Each structure stands twice: as C-alpha cells, then as structure tokens.
Amino acid sequence: MSRIQVEEGVELFVQDWGSGTPIVFIHGWPLSHRMFEYQYIQLPREGIRCIGIDLRGYGRSSKPWSEYDFDMFADDLKRILDELDVDDVTLAGFSMGGGVVTRYMSRHNEEHVAKLALLGAASPVLAKKPDFPEGVDEAAFMDLAEGCYEDRAKISSDFADSMFHSAPSPELKDWLQNMSMESSPQAMADSIEAVGEMDLRSDLADISVPTLICHGVHDQACPFDLTAEKLHNGIENTELVSFEESSHALFYEEKEKLNQELTEFSK
C-alpha cells in the first residue's frame, strides 16, 4: 500500500496485492478501490497482481477542491502507471471507472496497457444527445449532483439499493454506503455531472487491445443496451459476457464468474 503524488499537494492511494499478471482496478462512482474486495481476495491465488487505485476525491486519496472530469482522472491514472513502472497490464474499469479507462486509452495512446476490461461500464455515453435520443435524461444526473449537497447520505443509500438484482444483506449495503460517504461531496457532485456530460464515442476507435466487456443484464445504472452493446459494436476486438443474475453490482452478485472471466482473460 502506498500513496503516490500526482501533482503538488495531491496524492492517490494505491493498494498493491499479490504478484504475477497485473490487473489495475478503477472503481466506480461513488465508491473506492475497496469495492473490489472479492476480487482482491481471490485473484492473487491465481497468480494475478491486483493494483487498486482510489481516484482523486475518493477513498483514501487526496480530496482537493478542483474540477473533476474524465481528462483529469485519466491524467492521474497515467501518472500512477508511470510511477509504478508497470507494463502489459489489464486495465479494468467499473461504472464511472469504465469511462475513465475508455478516456485513458485514447488520451494516452494505450500506454502500459495490454488488455482492457470494462465492467458494468458507464461508457461511452449515457445521457441523451441530439444523435443519441435513447439516452437517459440529463436532468437525472443533475438531480444526483444536487442531492450530494442536500442529503448525500440518502443519495448514497438509494444508489446502493439500485445496484443489486437480488436484495443485499443490510450489512453489505451499509458497507457500500459507508464507502460512498468517505468521498468528497464536491467530487461526488462534479463527477456525476461529468458522467451526464460524457460522450466517449469517438474514443472507441482508438482502442486496439483485446477488450473484455462484462455487464449485468439487469443493470439500471448503466443499461445493457446503452452501454455494453454500444461498446461491443464500437471497439474492434471485444468479447461481451452477459451476467444473467446481476444488476450493476456484478463484482459481488456473480463474483465467482467475474473472477473466472478476469483470470482467463488477463492470462
């Protein structure tokens, strides 16, 4: 475990477990690297090195008052991978983290990355656009951002509820909600606004590495047809794996299947 400086006064927390083939995990909104606990405790047994990063504003990373957008997250990720001096990684992004890694691959020319894994990814676009009328109403993202300043605990609780196809235990929901409340309220609000404004469709053509897309068919946060299918059609070399018993929380609801897919894909 370490903290790496990405700019003056800003350090990101990095957890590094195991040895072997490296997978770098980028968490989703509004969580932290700890959401991948059920990957960290299994994958190192399969000869996989698990590197988890808390994005700026989240978890144990610095929480500066600044702009939070996909370019900034991608640039922070580049500095971390440079500092770790790790190559041929499988870069895995969940939800908002899926958008971060999509942007990284285009903005930083796939540096350090041999394979890409998109897990319940909020990518390439979610909100309605003139040429994307099937998208989610952008007001939904603005309402979430406003809620972060009015009753962030309720926003966190409601989002945790919405992540599951089958009701989680109260303790598991509390774990996710508490993880969410560790984040900066400004980071939470600005990040979800950035998700609403996001349009990464032009980035997909820049992705050339083998790409694994894992997505819950019951996903409400990132609907399957708006995200997984668009990624599958837009990226040249992809494998799309449907998770039939999962909503957004495939990292828990079908953790054994996800772990197997990541193990086979990364190796």
Q: Which of 27, 33, 112, 248 is catalytic?
A: 248
Which backbone phi and psi does 55 adopt, to 5 degrees? -60, 155
Q: Is 131 a catalytic residue?
A: no
Q: Is 123 a catalytic residue?
A: no
Report the distance separating Cα 42 and Cα 226, nearest Å.
31
Q: Which of 62, 95, 180, 266 is catalytic?
A: 95
Report the distance separating Cα 3 and Cα 252, nearest Å.
27
Q: Is 95 a catalytic residue?
A: yes
Q: Which two tokens stand for residue 78?
A: 């580049």
* 79: enclosing H helix or E strand: helix 70-84
Cα 51 off chain centre by = 13
Q: Which residues contact 80 (CB under 8 A, 6 or more apart)?
A: 4, 6, 12, 14, 53
Report the distance separating Cα 6 and Cα 203, nearest Å.
24
Q: Which of 27, 215, 219, 246 is catalytic?
A: 219
Long-range pairs of 80-83 with CB within 8 A, sequence gap ≥ 24: 80/4, 80/6, 80/12, 80/14, 80/53, 81/24, 81/111, 81/112, 82/112, 83/4
From the number of C-beta atoms within 10 Å of its C-beta (0-12, 13-18, 19+), residue 222 rates as buried
List, in sequence order, every beta strand (DSSP E) within 20-127.
Answer: 21-26, 48-53, 89-94, 113-119
Q: Which two tokens stand for residue 248?
A: 């957004």
Q: Which residues are catalytic?
A: 95, 219, 248
